[in-house]
Structures are given as structure tokens and as C-alpha cells.
Amino acid sequence: MLNRVLGIDPGMSGALAVYCPSASAESGMRWHVMDIECAGEKADRRVVAPLLRDFVTRFDPEVAFVERAFVMPKQNVAAQARYMRAVGAIEAIVACLNIPIHFVTPQTWKKFHGLHKADKEASRALALRLFPEAADLLRRKLDHQRAESMLLAAYGARTWKG
């Protein structure tokens, strides 16, 4: 059984979640979540890599489950480039820390959780139901990226066959 699983909803407004399934819900140690921070303006906007590295290092996950990145067809080229640059930075940080990475399509982890074709609010609502101890982490509607990173980590914890 895994002790610490990293789930990542990548991108400029994504999130990371470390899931410790063996910790009791009451301990407050089951979930550790971080929004992806960025700095800079417009074309110069970048993920603040040292903050992500420090977060991941602090919790030392055994494995990472990362949503496979796809650009949105209606996004302009500059937005697509920023998104893919952020994804690359996140993947590089995890890889440089020697954490095995498993890429999961949104369809796969959402189907696992019964969220097929559901919107982001449905992900947040499900995470609140599954992890009521993490309600403070998911109190705002825009915390859907946190919920998705948590659901990715939970998917990984339940399906990993390392």
C-alpha cells in the first residue's frame, strides 16, 4: 500500500495534492494541497518552480499521477504555449526528484470516479463527499483544481500496482 501519492492537475491554474491514505481523516494529515503559483505577466508568465519543488520534496511522495496534458482547441496559440510550458516545468520537477510519474487521461480518472462528461464543479462536489475532512481546502468554487488533483491522487492510490 502506498503511503504518499502525488496527484497533479497541471497548468498555470492547477494544483498539487499529496494523499496519505494510511493517515486517519481526523489527524488532519491525510491531505496536503498546493495551488500552482505563477509569476510574470502575459507571455512571461511562468510557474514558480522552486515553490513546487519544495512542496513535493517536503512530502516525499512515492509516486505521482499527473493528468495528461492536452491543449484546448479554442485556445489561442499563446495560451497553449503557456499551458504546455507550465506542464513541462511541473513534469521536470517531479522527474528531477526521481518520483515515478504515471500520466492519466482525464477520461480515465473521471470514469473511475463516475464523473464521465461532468464539469469541474462536479469534481469539487465529489471530492467534498469523498473527503469531508478536506472541506476547508475545497470551500470555494474555484478550488475545483484542488479537487481534481485530490481525485487524481485517490485514483492513483486505488489503482497503483507497483
Instruction: Name all domains of the chain by residue range, CATH numbers in brackets.
Output: 5-159 (3.30.420.10)
Q: pLDDT tens, 85-98? A: 999 999 999 999 99
Q: pLDDT tens, 112-152? A: 999 977 788 999 999 999 999 999 999 999 999 999 999 99
* Overall average pLDDT of the 37-48 stretch: 91
* Greatest Cα-to-Cα distance within the chain, rounded to the nearest angstrom: 45
